[in-house]
């Protein structure tokens, strides 16, 4: 991190961390949907290599989920909201999918396609949140093979876009008639295995990549990671407590609108790269 920019960068990263930590606890999201566009903008302003900017933004975003997931899931667990059997059923597929996606697949994708994939994923997630369809009353979670497959898809997609998986796992669980507060809490618990597997892939795939700035560990940019994590772990429990006190339907609409704005920015970034 450039020292002449510290008076501006550190407060901005602290604010970003506080906001994304709150959202991690409130909606079970890891914050990647908001963090990646802002980190992309930040890394661009710092003059990082164009081809590495989006990769580093996604990897750094995912790294912060290691911290926010532990903080938010503790608060949810104290209220008995986490469905641990679901976590155990999805985790093996999540780890495998996260390591595959975060490894050479992630490194092989060019910035243009990675930005486009992120924008499409965020836009689709926002529209799904706005639709808020009710599932069929008799639908239940699938068996072992179905849960392993679902976990693999969640882990793979999450590693490519730097998200904690909530925008796949929460709709999947509510589609299977898991109550929304339990789905949010369980998604928070799933954030850690998703992040751990993906971060291992980012470090490995970016280990010898030329042109990465000082302070990088593979594709992770450690100075930004540490500042954001320090703020996010403080606000994640507050978000979790708020989630159990309110109807999140209206907040979901505002959140979805924000995601559509961020998806538009990443589409513009993809257009520039093409």
Both tokens of residue 88?
Answer: 């155990």
Q: What is d(CA 143, CA 80) in angstroms, rounded to the nearest whole number?
A: 23
Res 162: pLDDT:
67
Residue pair 157/122 in contact by the 8 Å Cβ criterion = no
Q: Where are the alpha helices (DSSP H) in 46-179?
A: 50-78, 84-100, 106-108, 111-131, 144-161, 166-175
Instruction: Find the radius of gyration of the CA atoms of the chain.
Output: 17
How many other CB atoms sit within 10 Å of the CB of residue 46? Answer: 15
- Segments of the chain scoring below 50 in pLDDT: 1-4
Non-local (6+) Cβ contacts of 113 within 8 A are 270
Write down the domain spans for the chain. 3-273
DSSP state of 79: T
Decide: pTM greater than 0.75. Answer: no
Instruction: Say if residues 222 and 126 touch (Cβ distance below 8 Å).
Output: no
User: Which token pair is 20?
Assistant: 């994304």
Query: Distances in Å between the alpha carbon of 34 and those of 55, 182, 210, 229, 248?
Result: 15, 23, 27, 14, 18
Q: What is the predicted pLDDT for the residue at 141? A: 87
Closest by alpha carbon to 155, among 119, 110, 206, 199?
A: 199
Please tell me the distance from the alpha carbon of residue 186 to that of residue 165, in angstroms, as a whole number.
Answer: 11
CA distances from 173 to 26, 137, 141, 152, 196 (A): 17, 13, 7, 15, 22
Q: What's the token pair of residue 149?
A: 């497959």
Q: How far apart are the first and last CA of the chain?
A: 28
pLDDT of residue 126: 73
Give exposure, 218-233, as e/b (b: 16+ Cβ within 10 Å).
bbbbebbbbbbbbbbb
């Amino acid at each position: 991190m450039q020292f002449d920019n510290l008076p501006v960068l550190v407060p901005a990263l602290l604010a970003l961390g506080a906001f994304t930590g709150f959202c991690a606890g409130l909606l079970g999201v890891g914050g990647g949907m908001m963090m990646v566009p802002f980190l992309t903008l930040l890394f661009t302003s710092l003059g990082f290599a164009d081809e590495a900017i989006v990769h580093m933004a996604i990897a750094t975003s995912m790294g912060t989920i290691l911290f926010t997931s532990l903080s938010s899931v503790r608060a949810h667990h104290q209220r008995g909201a986490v469905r641990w059997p679901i976590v155990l059923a999805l985790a093996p597929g999540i780890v495998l999918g996260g390591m595959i996606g975060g490894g050479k697949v992630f490194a092989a994708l060019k910035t243009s396609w990675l930005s486009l994939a992120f924008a499409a994923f965020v836009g689709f997630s926002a529209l799904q949140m706005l639709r808020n369809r009710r599932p069929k009353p008799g639908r239940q979670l699938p068996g072992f093979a179905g849960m392993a497959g679902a976990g693999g898809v969640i882990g793979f997609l999450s590693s490519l876009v730097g998200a904690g998986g909530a925008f796949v796992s929460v709709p999947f669980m509510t589609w299977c008639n898991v109550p929304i507060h339990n789905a949010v809490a369980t998604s928070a618990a799933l954030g850690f295995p998703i992040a751990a597997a993906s971060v291992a892939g980012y470090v490995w795939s970016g280990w010898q990549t030329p042109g990465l700035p000082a302070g990088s560990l593979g594709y992770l940019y450690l100075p930004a990671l540490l500042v954001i994590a320090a703020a996010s772990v403080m606000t994640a429990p507050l978000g979790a407590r708020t989630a159990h006190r309110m109807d999140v339907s209206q907040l979901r609409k505002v959140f979805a609108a924000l995601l559509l704005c961020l998806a538009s920015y990443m589409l513009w970034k993809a257009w520039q790269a093409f």
